[in-house]
Amino acid sequence: MNRKYIYLACSLILIIVAVLASMTLYEILQASSNPDTFEIESVTWNMTRPVVADYFVHLNESVSNAYISDEAAVGLEVVVRYFIARRSTEVHNITVVTEYEHLALALSASAIISEGFVHSMVIKFSSELHNSSLNIDEDPEHFTLRNIEIHEIADRKAESYIDAQAVGKPESCMFADRFEWTFYDLNTLDHQMLVTLEATYFNGTGYRKAVIPTQLAALSSP
């Protein structure tokens, strides 16, 4: 066979392989961005903000929510570590706030798949943030990561998030981080925040997204 035709045939084969590969990658991206989504029932944790003389109040309370089935176990735990009371001082007969009330919290998210792999885990923080703010710890030294890496963190917005992407195609992933919830009112307003884990995984036949919500409430003292 003429070398010219052999060259053309090989080039055509390479083009076909490249097109098929790009189509497969496109299908994978499309499937992972539009998974079969399901949400489990939310759980709730709440507290009444204390009126205390002590500046620092240990709480060490936790709330957990999880989806467990034959194909996957996906869970979210939020730990309420401690409460910091409002502090102020007098400067020329004017009260100056030196530190606002806030809750110090931590979270951990995990996913284990019996067949397939974990694709990603995203934590969303939804709150109107009226007279309050959210600060997610972005110091890598404070992260706990297993088979996953932090892709992006956004906070101090009405809907903040931690976007974590699995490394490779692991059967299990876990990450943990800390965050603070600050209140600027004089213990007169109720505050609520919805913390939601969205874990996307491939179960061997298709992509699924488990939505695990947890409601937090910090209520004003009566």
**49 shares a domain with 63:** yes
pLDDT of residue 221: 84
Interatomic CA distance for residues 120 and 48, integer angstroms = 35
**124 shares a domain with 64:** yes
- Give the CATH number, domain containing residue 148: 2.60.40
- Please state which of the ranges 3-7, 39-43, 53-57, 59-63 shows the lowest mean pLDDT: 3-7
- Please state which of the ranges 18-22, 108-112, 138-142, 149-153 shows the lowest mean pLDDT: 18-22
**42 shares a domain with 24:** no
pLDDT of residue 98: 55
The phi, psi pair for 183, rounded to 5°, reads -115, 130
The phi, psi pair for 2, rounded to 5°, reads -60, 135
**164 shares a domain with 196:** yes
How many domains does the chain contain in total? 2
For residue 118, pLDDT over 90 is answered with: yes
pLDDT tens digits for range 44-98: 999 998 876 567 788 999 999 999 999 999 999 999 999 988 765 555 555 555 5
Q: Which is it for strands 172-183 and 144-146: parallel, antiparallel or unpaired?
A: antiparallel
Structural domain harbouring 102:
37-219
| Exposure class string for 207-222: b at 16+ Cβ within 10 A, else e | bbbbbbbbbbebeeee
For residue 22, pLDDT over 50 is answered with: no
**206 shares a domain with 118:** yes
For residue 116, pLDDT over 70 is answered with: yes
pLDDT tens digits for range 128-160: 767 888 999 999 999 999 999 999 999 876 679
pLDDT tens digits for range 175-200: 999 999 999 888 889 999 999 999 99
**21 shares a domain with 41:** no
